Chain A
Amino acid sequence: KQEVTQIPAALSVPEGENLVLNCSFTDSAIYNLQWFRQDPGKGLTSLLLIQSSQREQTSGRLNASLDKSSGRSTLYIAASQPGDSATYLCAVTPHAGGTSYGKLTFGQGTILTVHP
Chain B
Amino acid sequence: GAGVSQSPSNKVTEKGKDVELRCDPISGHTALYWYRQSLGQGLEFLIYFQGNSAPDKSGLPSDRFSAERTGGSVSTLTIQRTQQEDSAVYLCASSLLSTYEQYFGPGTRLTVT
Q: Which residues of A are in contact with B by a Cβ distance under 8 Å?
A: 31-32, 34, 36, 42-46, 49, 51, 89, 91, 93, 98-109
Contact = CB atoms under 8 A, between A and B. Distances in A.
8 contacts: A46-B102, A93-B100, A99-B53, A99-B55, A99-B56, A102-B50, A103-B56, A106-B42
A104 B45 contact: yes
B99 A105 contact: no
Nearest to B45: A103
Contact of B58 (A49, A100, A108): A100
By size class, the interface of chain B is: 20 to 34
Given A43-B104, A100-B58, 7 more contacts: A32-B101, A43-B4, A44-B104, A49-B99, A99-B50, A102-B102, A108-B42
Contact of A34 (B35, B45, B48, B102): B102
Contacts of B95: 102
B8 interface: no
B59 interface: yes
Question: Which 10 pairs show the lowest CB-CB distances between chains A and B?
Answer: A99-B56, A44-B104, A106-B43, A103-B45, A43-B106, A43-B104, A49-B101, A103-B48, A43-B107, A108-B42
Interface string B87-113: 000010101010111111111000000
B6 to A, nearest CB: 8
B77 to A, nearest CB: 15
Contacts of A89: 43
Contact of B50 (A36, A101, A105): A101
